[in-house]
Amino acid sequence: MIFPNAVVSTDCHIGDHSVINSGATISHDSLIGGYATINPGVHVAGNVSIGEGCYLGVGSSVIHGVSIGAWTVIGGGAVVPQDLPENVIAVGVPARVIKTKEEGLNERTTSRTGE
């Protein structure tokens, strides 16, 4: 589902069951895996690969050419300048891994908006 006011540029692929929320931008040649949540105001640059099930927190940015592994969570406001593995949680500017998904999230964190 691509919300109004989201922008998806040329030659992108958005996987099934993903949400691209309002104000998000996905630049050219980027891949968004299935079941991903791209929250409001996220900026994904060109030639980026976002794995299946990833959750990009509100206002986060992913820099050109970066790959993020499946089911990884990016905190709100983070800037991701380099590749991240699957199943981790990363926050901050520049984004750093703070824990793995196995270590768990607090309950406020990853509700899907707009559904």
Ligand X SMILES: CC(C)(COP(=O)(O)OP(=O)(O)OC[C@H]1O[C@@H](n2cnc3c(N)ncnc32)[C@H](O)[C@@H]1OP(=O)(O)O)[C@@H](O)C(=O)NCCC(=O)NCCS
Q: Which of residues 19-48 bind ligand X (CB under 6 A)?
A: 39-40
Least gap, CB of 64 to ligand X (angstroms): 22
User: Of 9-17, 22-30, 61-69, 98-106, which part binds ligand X (CB under 6 A)?
Assistant: 98-106
Collapsed DSSP state (helix, strand, coil) of residue 38: strand
Positions annotated as catalytic residues are 28
Q: Is 107 exposed, middle or buried (0-12, 13-18, 19+ CB in 10 A)?
A: exposed
Least gap, CB of 41 to ligand X (angstroms): 9
44: Cβ contacts below 8 Å, ≥ 6 apart: 24, 25, 26, 27, 30, 32, 38, 50, 56, 61, 62
Least gap, CB of 18 to ligand X (angstroms): 15
Site string for ligand X, 48-67 (x = CB under 6 A): ---------xx---------
Residue 103 DSSP class: G
Do 100 and 87 meet the contact criterion of CB atoms below 8 Å apart?
yes
Tell me which residues touch ligand X (CB under 6 A): 39-40, 57-58, 73, 75-77, 89, 91-92, 98, 105-106, 109-110, 113
